[in-house]
Every structure is written in C-alpha cells, then in structure tokens.
Amino acid sequence: MGARAKITDKGQITLPKEIRDRHGLKPGDHVEFVLMNGHYVLFPKNVKIGDLAGILGKPPSGESLTLEQIDDAIGEAVAADDERILREWRERNS
C-alpha cells in the first residue's frame, strides 16, 4: 500500500483519506515520524487514556504498586504495541 501527499508552502501535508480512515485518525490526533533504516515511518498516536483502561490487568489482590512500577508497566505495554505495529508494517511492506 502506498499513498502520496503534497507539501504546502508552510511545510504541511494532508494525510490521504485512505490512511486516516485505516488508522482512525481524526483532527487533533498526533502522529510520530520515526527514522528507521534510512526511511521515515509514521506511527499514529491517537490512543486516548481511556482506551488503555485494563490493558495491564489487575494487580494481585491486596498488593499496591508504586508509581515507578506503574510507569514501568505502562512503558512496557506501549513498547510492545509499538513493536506489534512495526512488525505488521514490515509484513505488509515486504
């Protein structure tokens, strides 16, 4: 799959509708450009905090976690999701 966009005088681009629809991107959402092997890869960053509810499961009964442990768990979950997105992108483009 490929798509083209034109850069305006202000350095802006409009993401093609096909890409916005495929990734559920709406006005105000963010995307991240990551340099990988000499090419930029665009990652949609449109997950809302409410969408993450329950992603980590429940801690064992009676156990409380420190903020550091919670931050680490969130970081691991986000990294795993980024790896999945990258793996799927590579599979589609190989």
What digits encode the pLDDT tens for the residues 46-88? 766 666 677 667 766 677 778 888 888 888 888 888 888 888 8
* Residue 13 pLDDT exceeds 70: yes
Q: What's the pLDDT at 63?
A: 74
pLDDT score of 10 more than 90? yes
| 5 vs 63: which has the higher pLDDT | 5
How distant, in Å, are the alpha carbons of 32, 58, 74, 75, 81 from that of 55?
Answer: 22, 9, 9, 12, 11
Instruction: Give the pLDDT score at 32.
Output: 86
User: Helix, strand, or coil here: 9?
Assistant: coil
> Percentage of the chain surpassing pLDDT 70?
82
For residues 51 and 39, the answer to whether their CB atoms sit within 8 Å is no
Confidence band of 12 (pLDDT split at 50, 70, 90): very high
